[in-house]
Amino acid sequence: MAATFRRRLRRGAASTAVAALVLAALTASQSPAGAKNTAAKGPEPTPADTPIDGGAAYYTDLPPLNSPVPPRGSNDPRPDGDGIVTGPAQAGIPATVLAAYKKAESEIRAADPGCRLPWQLLAGIGKVESGQARGGAVDAEGTTLQPILGPQLNGHGFARITDTDGGRYDGDRTHDRAVGPMQFIPSTWSQGGPAGTGWGADGNGDGKKDPNNVFDAALAAGTYLCAGGRNLSVQQDLDSAVLGYNHSEEYLRTVLSWFAFYRTGSYEVPDGKGVLPAHRPGANGTRDHANGSTQGRTGPGRGTGDTAGNRPHPGRTKPNGPARPGGSGDGHTGSHTPGGDHTPGTPQTPGGKPTPTPKPPTKPTTPTSPTALQQAGDQDLATTAGTDFTTKPQVRAVDAAGKPVAGVPVRFTLPGTTDARFPGGATTAIVTTGKDGLATAPTLHAGDKTGDFTLRATAVGRTAPAVDIKATVKAKPAPKVDLLTRTSDKELTATAGHAFAEDAVEIKATYQGKIAAGVPITATMITDDPDHPVQNDKGPYFKDPQATGDNKDKPLRTLTGLTTDADGLLKLPKIYTDTHPGTFLLRLTTPNGTTLTLKLKIAAPAKTA
């Protein structure tokens, strides 16, 4: 497709049709279950409303009019399996880039199913921002072979954003530049987001957040698009998300055009073989890897990027002329490529005749507003520490008549008093109600913290009262033990006023002859009453390892919090004695009642002459 610069979607019915087509496709295909070194004076703060790409330049090429058809597969009956593409080459997406978009969609769908993020939206943004990482010029890990940099954001035609990363990402120590396949500026990558920790993400699991890596950048872009409880099947949320990426109506229309195009079909091409949004390297539309120039891209206050001979001059813009074959009614020139792909201008059929303007689909109706949320399913959720809740939190949205309401985004929020988490370590999850009015949260995993907590469900952007769902995390059942033994038969002796030897007492726990690891044990100094032994008030004792000040030497004759190790062994802390000689008893007890009683002999101190 010939590069098209500053080409705008036809306003009126055509632009309305694109927007409606995008919304209809999203709604139909998604389900509710289915985002420092600094200058001497320091950087100026980035404005709060700065878009993700900093308002930088972007490619304005529009997709061809004919729908893409993928090449034949390995079962092609034709000889040699030539894999001819019968649709436009622009529908081909480089393999690694395509994999990154689909992986991001899958991860976000699991963590935030209510967002309904389709990978084709990421592909539309990736096409407009970087031409799918310059046609898939990435390595096997998804990192660009050369930096993809936007223009210097120095206030000349773009936002003015002084350096925020010391050149770490963009190599520029004076001003920021948009970076990578999805064109994040450094400040949004590392400092943006509601928590101020950045939108950056680790999409390929290598432990790094790299805006030059298409897996990381795609996941970060998806996370941003879904932020704030957005439901991308709702046109207003979709528009808001895309405009947050770049505050331009033309940008919005361009992204939505590619989104709709990819929804009709796409196919995988080898890395490095994707169609670039330009005629050829070095011509208009190319992107300078070294210095971030943006020929052939457009942005606020920028020129069209045409060559000098075709560059428009102030005061000499021609008025719109009538539509003609190969051209558009807005005065821009369209063209045909050898493969028959038609660059957007006046819509044409293969025979060269104008195609009638399509009628926009019927606008989806706005969902009825719910008046209440009701807890559905089990009223109380419970599980043991370290396991998944078998029942998922679930609520139903209903109207004043008690009928279910579909399409309501519901936010499930965990309190700070629990370490239970949704997938990906999330403390919130947004799910949209289905036709039955039900919103079911993702699987909830209990942490190590036991006790009760309350999960809250809220209808996002609605006035319906929130619903509190009670949940309980129970302690793990203690391992069973049927035998406690001492690992040494050496007599336990000490002199009054002196401590027993270090590590004098070591025991081993077993169950049916096998090692019993992780067994809680309580150690108590008891009286020698055979019928009713109780804690002793004299003789040997422990010291509280947590005590401080005057209490750190205070005798402690019942010690809890002891646990056998992976080998079923436990060494007791140091045992001290007071001034009382004699034979004393130490009892070790497990939760299931298995005990071991040891004798501690304390001799009187030798008399001095």
Residues 296-327 have pLDDT tens digits of 444 443 333 333 333 333 333 333 333 333 33
Q: For the residues 527-536, what does the mean pLDDT come to?
A: 91
- For residue 62, give both structure tokens: 């529009």
* pLDDT the model gives residue 169: 86
Looking at the predicted structure, is the pLDDT value of residue 409 above 70? yes
Residue 513 vs residue 245, higher pLDDT: 513
DSSP string, 350-396: TTSPBPPPPPPPPPPPPPPPPSEEEE-S-SEEEEETTSB-SS--EEE
Q: What is the pLDDT of residue 247?
A: 82
Average pLDDT over residues 6-27: 42
Least confident of 79-88, 265-274, 280-289: 280-289
Distance of CA 372 to CAs 395, 402, 407, 604, Å? 10, 9, 14, 77
What's the whole-number mean pLDDT along residues 5-19?
A: 39
* Whether the predicted pLDDT of 273 surpasses 70: yes
Q: How confident is the model at residue 337 (pLDDT cuts 50, 70, 90)?
A: very low
On average, the pLDDT of the chain sits at 76
Give one DSSP letter per residue of 23-77, joined into a string. Answer: HHHHHHH--TT------TT-PPPPPTT--TTTT--EE-----SSPP-PPP-TT--
Q: Look at residue 368 in the predicted model and tell me its pLDDT.
A: 67
Q: What is the pTM of this model?
A: 0.44
What end-to-end distance do the CA atoms of the chain give, in Å?
Answer: 111
How far is C-alpha 480 from the chain's CA centre?
40
560 by DSSP, 3-state: which?
strand
- Say if residue 423's pLDDT is above 80: yes
pLDDT computed for residue 399 by the predictor = 92
Residues pairing with 380 in the sheet: 470
Residue 501 has pLDDT above 90, yes or no: yes
DSSP code of residue 179: B
Residue 181's pLDDT is what? 93
- Are 552 and 566 contacting, i.e. CB atoms less than 8 angstroms apart? no
Share of the chain above pLDDT 70, in %: 71
Q: 511: helix, coil or strand?
A: strand
Is it the case that residue 444 has pLDDT exceeding 90?
yes
What distance in Å separates the CA atoms of residue 429 and residue 469, rounded to the nearest whole number?
Answer: 14
For residue 271, the Cα-to-chain-centroid distance in whole angstroms is: 25
pLDDT at 55: 58
Between 156-160, 216-220, 305-309, the lowest mean confidence (pLDDT) is in: 305-309
Rounded to an integer, the average pLDDT of 60-76 is 56
Least confident stretch, 147-156, 198-207, 360-369: 360-369
* Better-predicted residue by pLDDT, 506 or 353: 506
Measured between alpha carbons, how far is 299 from 301 in angstroms, rounded to an integer? 6
pLDDT confidence of residue 15 = 42
Neighbours of 29 (CB within 10 A): 13
Dihedral angle sign, alpha carbons of residues 533, 535, 537, 539: positive
53: confidence class by pLDDT, cuts 50, 70, 90:
low
Return the ∠ at Cα 164 (arms to 163 and 168), rounded to 5°: 90
Q: Which residues contact 48 (CB under 8 A, 6 or more apart)?
A: none
The alpha carbon torsion through 521, 525, 531, 532 (nearest 10 deg) reads: -90
SS3 593: coil
